[in-house]
Chain A
Amino acid sequence: MAVTEVEPIVTARLGLPESWTLKTYVDNGGYAGLRKALSMSPGAIKDDMLNASLLGRGGAGFDAGKKWSMLAKGQPSYLVVNADESEPCTFKDHMLIEGDPHQLIEGTAICAYANGVTQAFIYVRGEFALGVERLTAAVNEAYDHGALGRDIFGSGFDLDLVVHYGAGAYIVGEETALLESLEGKRGFPRIKPPNFPAVSGLYGCPTVVNNVETLSYLPWIVINGGSSFSRMGEGVSAGTRLFSLSGHVNRPGNYEFEWAKATFRDLIEHPRLGGGVRNGNQLKAIIPGGASSPWFGPDKLDMALQHDVVQKAGSMLGSGSVIVMDHTTCAVRAAWRIVKFFHRESCGQCTPCREGSGWLEKIMIRIEQGSGREEDLELLLDVCDNISPDITWPPKQTTICVLGPSIPPAIATSLNMFRDEYLVHIKEGGCPFD
């Protein structure tokens, strides 16, 4: 296991001056992928995508080529780009939108062409004011350049692309809530089945929903071929991948490298990546894939950052965010903060999620502040069990969307790993880290 020497794909242009402008983009090979795609048949692109084995980078980890092949026939159909990045401690799409908006536009256009879509939307998280501005300016430039609009690059293919922006609600990142929101409604997830976007999505029409990072790989894949992509990485963990590294490391940031070859230790300690835990402190725990993922202890440091390996070990890489906590971190407080987040962001449609998250938050804050009781620990697990029966991995789902079942893992794993610390809070009547 090691960090391998491969050229970055989606971050290749980010260091260039004014990387967000059309000029920089085109001077560095931009829109060549779209030109090539338009000379191919949509079917050929879709076939090549199956070779690429590009796993969706939005968190659910579904193969993009397979997703496209499931798109129901029928007009109109739509493409909605999920640029609503709000998963705690995930900040890669934010960077791609601000730093290389044309790459996203090009990927979007390729995806639209391959799927016979002529109307696409990029749904940007409303808080990304600069991203919305850069993307809007880039769309203006792309139309003028002939890369969007009517008769793209003289191919006869038309595509209208609208930059839509939201207004702050984590749940809207869930794809059916995203579509509700894009219809001008509250971001309530829809019941699946029957509302699979590929069949019944935006305005009830077949809709492709893909993540920003996912689509940003497309220009490269079209130019280099799907099998060049899947030659990198390992199995379903193909290609390169962006990881958002945050917390107690010397060099937090977004890092792109060949997937499945490096380990958590590489990511955290490699001098070009995390650069080690800050102040030479001891590592306490990692949250390997977003707020909903079960935590890992230092014993998992040498595990490969690989989709199925991490899944088998009882957690997930999810949205590609890795949070590092050193020994100065209070595990109770960290778990409480995650539960507080879910409580705040629950859309309220399902009772276990709405009520359960509130109860858990109350119990957690009580423990953290020193007025917890020993029975609270069992109570926590009991409430978790009510939200997601048996607290398994992957969690069982009794709710409309997976936000509900995402709540227990942080509590269950932190309690399992740091039960003593919970008990100290209770016995000493306060947080030992204060």
Chain B
Amino acid sequence: MEFFLEILINGVLTGSLYGLTALGLTLVFGVMKIINFAHGTFLMVCMYMTYGLGVGFGLDPYLCIILVVPAAFVLGYLSQVVFVQPVLKAERDVREPVGVLLLTAGLWIAVNNLFLMLFGANFRSLKTPYSDQVFEFGQMLISRPLFYAFVFSLGATAILALFLRHTHMGRAIRVVGQDREAASLMGVDIYRIYRIAFGLGIATLGVAGAIITPMLYVHPFAGDIYDIRAFVIVVLGGLGSVPGALLGGIIIGVIESVASQYLTMSWAAALIYMIFLLVLFVRPQGIFGFEKDS
């Protein structure tokens, strides 16, 4: 029983982190209706930033958040200007645009391999004093960095949700997501909103990158496993829904951690894809989504 509870808790903790990695994706989709295939790549870049700061300046990964998040925002903002925006504009009168998906798939291949060229295939790890420590609750052992990750994930999700709800910019972002025609008629510069939304989406990966680094190896393909998983999560949670991403993440985390007790890891992955397909077929707006477009 305790053993099962431990698995469950681990699933929830890991899942909240998954939710955080999916947050940016769902925000970007919610606003622009595009799929960013380079999402995991941006996460990987944020991990390298954290690692660099940690090794170069001896900064604690959690402290790095202060630097990595703004850097990630700028990176996202610039990527939107240089890459995504031109493609979006070129596809303005296409009803089902998928150009950005292919563009970002290209970025994913290019940037991952650029990092491979620059830093090699080595698995690097940023050792912190607490990397291998655990909290003990009776018989249960909970990894300390994983627990911190949980706290930060909840915090970041809450901040983003509050920002979207209560600030002027946040509301503008939501309006553009709901009805871009109406928003542009109201005089909102939608491309500016897109740039900011993309920046914010990548900024959330700044948090994720920083809190993953103490737990996992940093290497050029470290973001990939989060990539497709994040798609699954946002579809489960309803593309565009912030709380949905967190809940979707937790669901996936729990399924994965429970299933991997009884199945091999790869069967657990197959199971998740099947759930994903089922949700797409039966309820394409996601479990928590209320959008009418699919």
A and B from one complex: no
